[in-house]
Amino acid sequence: MRDGAYVQAVNGARLDLAAGECLALVGESGCGKSVLASALLGLLPGNAETAGSAFLGALDLLAADERTLARTVRGRRVGLVPQSPAAHLTPVRTVRSQLEETVRELNGVRRGPRLRAAAEEAAERAAFPIGHLDRHPHELSGGLAQRAATALALVGDAPLLLADEPTTGLDRDLVERTVDELRRHIGSERALLLITHDLAAAERIADRVAVMYASRIVELADAADFFGSPGPRHPYARGLLDALPEREFTPIPGMPPELGALPAGCAFAARCDRATGICGTRPALTDGVACHHPATVPLEAPRA
């Protein structure tokens, strides 16, 4: 709720994620991606309301109480790489002390050289420089703070890793190194939900892609089909790829609607050159796309 009015930040989202898989959730800022991640971990503000189910094994995350989430879910069953690492790092403690505390709590390594070595190993996994471990968060650049938060998220080897914009503030080399490490986290019993608007990072590691627009999932596709041929089927998803510099570099016209004032029909219709009268009714997600006029022509390959 905002200013006394309800805002549908996430509406009707239906996703599945199997062990061994990376699902990339992509879309413009403000479409609801990070709200979805916060809901799964019980981190929404107190005036937020949730409905539905989100099962991790037999546990419904949306129905779990705070005690269960704090003691058995966060860090142990679900690891979070936060969008704003400065808000998740304790400002008065060094990165080393926070890593050692997390290793001690999640992995049972209590003290001495083993604890120190385990903390340094966790830092190396996230490309965090050992020489900066004894610094406080305010002494770190945005990119280093992001890598510190990634290191903390990887400690527990949680079955599900939620990475919310994990490449913010990183140069391209570190983007690739970071997402490759996140991909290595996936195993026979582990999965990754990558929330990003870095489509190059998603293309590098994702198995499937979910596109969110104005609180709703508008397309679900295999990554190979989405980034290759035939390409996305929803006009908005095609617009995202066409806006990339290595493709047509053509921005999507207009602006997304406010989540507190969504239209009754297709939320993308006002920006879409395919829109007709039927778009005044809301399309269902059918065969992986929520559109009355999905694309059928293969997308052109990126320019060399």
The reported pLDDT for the residue numbered 187 is 81
- Closest C-alpha to 15, from 41, 63, 71, 53: 53
The reported pLDDT for the residue numbered 304 is 45
DSSP class of residue 25 equals E
Amino acid at 170: L
Amino acid at 39: A
φ/ψ of residue 239, rounded to 5: -65, -35
- Closest C-alpha to 182, from 199, 197, 201: 201
Cα–Cα distance, 191 to 189 (Å, whole number):
7
Which pLDDT tens digits describe the chain residue by residue (304 residues)?
A: 556 667 889 998 999 999 999 999 999 888 999 999 999 999 999 889 999 999 999 999 999 999 999 999 999 999 999 888 877 899 999 999 999 999 998 888 777 899 999 999 999 988 899 999 999 999 998 889 988 998 999 998 899 999 999 888 788 888 898 899 889 888 888 999 999 989 999 999 999 999 999 999 999 999 999 999 999 999 999 999 999 988 888 999 999 999 888 999 999 999 999 999 999 999 999 999 999 999 886 655 554 4
Q: Before 230, cis peptide (omega within 30)?
A: yes
The reported pLDDT for the residue numbered 297 is 63
22-280: CATH topology is Rossmann fold (3.40.50)
Residue with tokens 């969504």: 262
Cα–Cα distance, 72 to 175 (Å, whole number):
30
The reported pLDDT for the residue numbered 174 is 85
Cα–Cα distance, 81 to 88 (Å, whole number):
9
Cα–Cα distance, 88 to 148 (Å, whole number):
10
Which residue ranges make up each domain of the chain? Answer: 22-280
Do residues 49 and 219 touch, judged by C-beta distance below 8 A?
no
Which residues on adjacent β-strands are paired with residue 40? none
H helical segments located in 126-212: 142-154, 172-185, 199-205
- What global pTM score does this model have? 0.90
Cα–Cα distance, 167 to 172 (Å, whole number):
9
The reported pLDDT for the residue numbered 143 is 85
φ/ψ of residue 139, rounded to 5: -90, 0
Cα–Cα distance, 106 to 124 (Å, whole number):
18
